[in-house]
Amino acid sequence: MKILFLNPPFLPKYSRESRSPAVTKSGTLYYPAWLAYAAGYAETQNHTVDLIDAVADNMTIEEVLDRCKKFNPELLVVGTSTPSIYNDMEKSIFLKSNLSSIPKIALVGTHASSTADEILKENSEIDFVARREYDLTISHLADSISATQDLSLVDGLSWKSENTVVHNKDREYIQDLDIIPFASKIYKRFFNIKNYFYAHVPYPTVSIFTSRGCDAKCDFCVYPQTMFGKFRARSAKNIAAEFEWIAKELPEVKGILVDDDTFTMDQDHAIEVSKELIAINNKIPFICEARANLKYETMKWLKKAGCKLVVVGFESTDQQVLNNMRKGMKMTLVHQFVKDAKQAKLKVHGCFMAGNPGDTKETLNKTLEFAIKHNFDTVQFFPLQVYPGTRAYNWAIENKYLRKTDYREQITEDGNHNCLLNTPELSSQDLLDFCDSARRQYYLRPKFIFYKLIESIKDPLGEGRKTVKSFRTFARHLFSNVSAS
């Protein structure tokens, strides 16, 4: 079957597959990695695929239609996100109604997975939702359509039988992730990698996933709760093989982002991967996501293998707030992590959130003081964004903490995050004001500016290029306050 995988047009540089979809202040643009993985797997099952990232290529829906007409798909697989969902459905239906092949539409992604019943009941032209981890579901669906087989046998599928929405049983998670082709191979064929940018990663970069799922239970985290469940990892040799392939086939790449929810969830596995990368003499710096329980021994192996920086979701430094969000983290471990990271000479990108249960102006200022004290390589401060399918969303809805419930209101007109949360302690404007002020206080310090200048001089092609590219976009947001809309 001919399957077209589409990241549909929306706002410029809008990242659907971000954990918090928006147009970022740093100019970051995510790869549509999950579409790429599913497209790669579909090819192994003898389907013919095309993959379009209309956002990265700045394509209009009419330009997408022209390409679709040349490919003539029978199944259209469309990525979704919460803020863009109405646009995503509208664009999907436009293509379906203007293609002579009249393809079936399957929506995928975190939002579609969480709201399948709502989507199918309200939209007669949307045929399917492939819930959760959808690589195998899409290929099985395509096989079933081709052979006119019973759709009720396609695990993980939601669909319509006459006027009734049917939710098939959940598909079992893939245990052997090595069966999925390298995302980097798909990127090379379908994307211009220079379109994609991550503010904390050397540019140009590729983003890959070496595991899926996470065993932590953070209330706000969307992918483990709506898509991937428990932690599973690719084999160390398979991961090292992709690093080798990137070095050979994409020599322009200056950094690899291992964008797993938690690459270091199994620290023994992280060490095993590090040893394999050392064995192949890896020369490409990589960035990975980690929790603040990372041990010094693991840090040393990561550093030897080429890890340049770890991305850590600190979120808050108030123990009660951490407990409230089910972070599963003790501040004693956080303090030890910071000390060990400096000793191991691993840079840290610190992620902080405002508006979690129990947050007050005092807890937020305490968290900012922590960030400034430790002078991390980069940081981000964001108000809590809650998405359907997460416990945080249920908490906000049940307590009537959301000012607006229209999904489109989660971003502003230009695509930046729009804070909708009003708690008894903090208003939406309080949260936005804190984040704006925190960014200024952090990034405009002479100590930080001098640090970045020295780093850029030492590594002009990597650190220097990344810093300049990020600052060009970030600067216009740094000096102004955002108002809740």
Helix (H) or strand (E) holding 333: helix 331-344
DSSP sequence for 428-468: HHHHHHHHHHHHHHHHT-HHHHHHHHHHHHH-IIIIIHHHH
CA distance 76 to 67: 13
Percent of the chain with pLDDT strictly greater than 90: 88
At residue 475 the predicted structure's pLDDT band, cuts being 50, 70 and 90, is low
Dump pLDDT digits (tens) for 142-191.
999 999 889 999 999 999 998 899 999 999 999 999 999 999 999 999 99
CB 415, CB 14: distance < 8 Å:
yes
Q: Which pLDDT belongs to residue 464?
A: 61
Percent of the chain with pLDDT strictly greater than 70: 95
Specify the amino acid at residue 67: R
Distances (CA, A) of 354 to 227, 366, 368, 399: 24, 12, 10, 17
Mean per-residue pLDDT over the chain, rounded: 94
Dump pLDDT digits (tens) for 313-360.
999 999 999 999 999 999 999 999 999 999 999 999 999 999 999 999
Read off φ and ψ for residue 478, nearest 5 degrees: -70, -30
Read off φ and ψ for residue 4, nearest 5 degrees: -105, 120
Q: Which pLDDT belongs to residue 260?
A: 97
At residue 457 the predicted structure's pLDDT band, cuts being 50, 70 and 90, is confident
Domains of the chain (ranges, CATH numbers): 2-131+134-167 (3.40.50), 177-384+421-478 (3.20.20.70)
Q: Which pLDDT belongs to residue 454?
A: 77
**Where is average pLDDT lowest: 205-214, 252-261, 440-449?**
440-449
Dump pLDDT digits (tens) for 41-51.
999 999 999 99
CB 138, CB 161: distance < 8 Å:
no
Beta bridge partners of 15: 22
DSSP sequence for 48-91: EEEEEETTTTT--HHHHHHHHHHH--SEEEEE--TTTHHHHHHH
Dump pLDDT digits (tens) for 353-380.
999 999 999 999 999 999 999 999 999 9
At residue 130 the predicted structure's pLDDT band, cuts being 50, 70 and 90, is very high
Residue with tokens 């690589």: 135
CA distance 337 to 70: 53
